Structure 1
Amino acid sequence: MKELNSIPIENIYYMLCYSWDKLDYISRNKIGIEESMDIQNLLCRILVDEVDILIKKGIKKNYKELNESSSVVKGKINFKESIKYKSTKQCKVNHSYDELNENIIINIVIKTTLINLIKIEDLSISNRNKVKRLIKYFNFIDTILLNKKIFKNISFNKMNREYKFIINICELIFDNLLINKNDNSAEFYNFIEDERKMAYLFESFIRNFYKKELKGAKVYREDIYWELTGEFVEFLPKMQTDISLEYNDKKYLIDAKYYKKSLVENYGSKKLISGNLYQIFSYLKNNESKSKKDEFSTGILLYPRVDKTLDLEYSMDKHNINIYTVNLNSKWNEISKRLISLIK
């Protein structure tokens, strides 16, 4: 997996931007990526730039219910709580009221992430100083112990959609940050070495790349239903394509496979991974009756190039099955040309 672990940081940056559907960030932000930059400093740089823009626009506030006891009544009186003061002869009334407040969950997540970044020993001096400067703008905002549920429960709308990209970055940092509770230090886990996480990134990058760069193409995920009959269809496993792509009156079912190897050893010779072929074959056959395009659709298995380039094309009945690799270690314009050429 050595070649996959050494994907240039610039390519990881582009893959992330495509995956997040944030290509405008590339065009508007001259981030100046250095080959020596590591992933935590890259993510920190992106987060700092985005939060800086957010601060210039103004940190988002929202109405938050506050509760207090005083002699001046605001909002709704809480009679049950107010009775306590009457029994102690205090001239106070407990009341609740809504007030515009910046101490809301999206700001809390950002501040907590910035504070956690400072704990990383390998953070560059430049990034560390930038993060410390930004934290000052969040003086009246709390911190929280982050977990996945918090990120899952954050909802976006027209009022706060500019936060979505920032929260995506915060979540990726959270997913890969290991905080030592003993000395409050932190270490960033390089997700490039995690095959499962990179598989998700590879798939979402490929899907959004075709959405953006293949003009006139329809790109989506698609549920495929088994062409089987019987009483217990609920036991059949779900089938869903990584990428369904319609272009120039043709249909492609693409499975993006981020594997250590695109070929396996079998009695001294290299062979394709049988399970992947069975899977794409099943997609094609079970989807045939859906439409004319599906009846003659093409299946593609797409792997990152590890030891050799694959351009294998086979035909079967009404379908073509193609196995390709893309070299993620090459220049970005070469990656782009390669992906477009697989369809065109």
Structure 2
Amino acid sequence: MVPIQNLYYLLCYAWNRLPEPDEWRQVAEQEFHRPLELLTQLLLVGTRRLLQQGLPLGYAEREEELTELRGRVLLTPTITRDLLRRGRAVCAYDELGPNTPLNRLLAGTLDVLGRTRRLPAPLRQEARRVRSRFPEGIEPAPLTRAGLRALRRLRLPGPEGFLLNVCGLIYRTALPDTDAEGRTRFHDFRRDEVLMAGIFERFVRNFYRLEQRRYRVLSETISWQAEADRAEDLALLPSMITDTSLESAERKIILDTKYYAAAFKAHHDRQRLISPHLYQLFAYLQNQAAQTTVPLEGVLLYPAAAHAADLRYVLGGFPVRVVTLDLNQPWPGIATDLLRLIE
């Protein structure tokens, strides 16, 4: 399981953001026992920074009973309340202020964290203290999938986007039920293999985007080298989308990440590589070969858990490496191992 301190780096890179020294110092000064504590600290650090700079403003629709027209008139409530005879109308208009969707989400998330027993008392108290610094008029929004999806469509800039991702992960770790007093319960998201697989994949890809300049880094769709009697039958073939492709003028690497407890599985009392993973990578290499003129090779990358491995093969003429990355070591070692992998 990934140590909580290293989760900070994984999340920063997964969310396409370089770790910040000041933020890391505040994180490193504390001993975390649960990932929720780390997420809360990141949310507090980022929210305090926003409050110091001034919360971002935006236009929010407001409905109000007025004596003069403003914005658009809402006929149904105006007529239902018989307001026209009194020279009044219900109007909806946009007002610039801090009651934006992001600020509402931050307020709602801090409310939840200020109540949960899964956090130590000092962190709960700090969540309530930071929440109390929000200006009046901000209506806290609950953590919901629909609300998070709507905010992601806004494509918020750097720091705000990072806080949105923190709130999104807090939502993903919340259990569907609450206790008798309405407090939300949370689980350790490191045990969620599907969630961690996505984080691990994005972490590796964005690490290479940010930390080296030799290769162009992307996730790409590989076309099948296939024919069919009918053109529409080709559309039924599954998509081949690489986790990470690294390409230079001299070399191209297709790197596939697999977040599994081990790179091997038992078969008749012997350890074997996981065949679907190897078949998938080999299919990528075979079909990509016709679309590139540079030497092509493949890497299967697993987080080290039960066994460390560094295996090298030549499969169908392609160099293939199966290797594990130790996520339990200090961060400098992780960064060094990743850079050595593509040397």
Which residue matches 2:253? 252
Which residue matches 1:313? 312
Which residue matches 1:31? 26
Which residue matches 1:328? 327
Say if 2:260 is the partner of 1:288: no
Aligned identity (percent) is 29
Q: Give aligned pairs, total.
A: 336
Q: What SS class does the counterpart of residue 271 from structure 2 fall into?
A: strand
Name the CA distance, whole Å, in 1 between partners of 2:183 and 2:81: 46
Q: What SS class does the counterpart of residue 26 from structure 2 fall into?
A: coil
Name the CA distance, whole Å, in 2 between partners of 1:47 and 1:238: 37
Q: 1:35 to 1:99 in 2, by over 3 A?
A: closer
Q: 1:86 to 1:306 in 2, by over 3 A?
A: closer
Does the 8 Å contact 1:9/1:35 carry over to 2? no
Which residue matches 1:223? 221
Deviations 1:200-224 (A, max 9, x none): 1111111111111222221110101
Say if 2:16 is the partner of 1:18: no
Name the CA distance, whole Å, in 1 between partners of 2:190 and 2:70: 54
Name the CA distance, whole Å, in 1 between partners of 2:7 and 2:266: 29
Shift of 1:125: 2.3
Does the 8 Å contact 2:262/2:307 carry over to 1? no
Does the 8 Å contact 1:85/1:91 carry over to 2? no
Name the CA distance, whole Å, in 1 between partners of 2:75 and 2:280: 65
Name the CA distance, whole Å, in 1 between partners of 2:268 and 2:132: 63
Does the 8 Å contact 2:179/2:185 carry over to 1? no
> How high is the TM-score relative to the length of structure 2?
0.90
Q: Mean Cα displacement is larger for which, 65-74 or 255-264?
A: 65-74
Aligned Cα root-mean-square deviation (Å): 2.2
Deviations 1:321-343 (A, max 9, x none): 11111111112111111111111
> How high is the TM-score relative to the length of structure 1?
0.90
Q: 1:64 to 1:228 in 2, by over 3 A?
A: same
Q: What SS class does the counterpart of residue 285 from structure 1 fall into?
A: helix
Does the 8 Å contact 2:244/2:256 carry over to 1? yes
Which residue matches 1:172? 169
Whichever residue aligns with residue 337 of structure 1, its letter is T
Q: What SS class does the counterpart of residue 235 from structure 1 fall into?
A: coil
Matching residue within 98, 122, 127 for 1:126:
122
Q: What SS class does the counterpart of residue 30 from structure 1 fall into?
A: helix
Q: Mean Cα displacement is larger for which, 52-61 or 173-182?
A: 173-182
Deviations 1:262-299 (A, max 9, x none): 11112222111111111110000011111202xx3101
Which residue matches 1:149? 146
Name the CA distance, whole Å, in 1 between partners of 2:221 and 2:80: 60
Which residue matches 2:203? 205
Q: What SS class does the counterpart of residue 292 from structure 1 fall into?
A: coil
Shift of 1:85: 6.5
Matching residue within 176, 180, 184 for 2:182:
184
Name the CA distance, whole Å, in 1 between partners of 2:242 and 2:78: 60
Whichever residue aligns with residue 255 of structure 1, its letter is D
Q: 1:190 to 1:241 in 2, by over 3 A?
A: same
Whichever residue aligns with residue 331 of structure 1, its letter is P
Q: 1:292 to 1:81 in 2, by over 3 A?
A: same
Which residue matches 2:40? 44
Q: What SS class does the counterpart of residue 287 from structure 1 fall into?
A: helix
Name the CA distance, whole Å, in 2 between partners of 1:336 and 1:86: 69
Whichever residue aligns with residue 20 of structure 2, its letter is Y
Name the CA distance, whole Å, in 2 between partners of 1:41 and 1:81: 46
Deviations 1:185-236 (A, max 9, x none): 2222101111111111111111111111222221110101111111211211
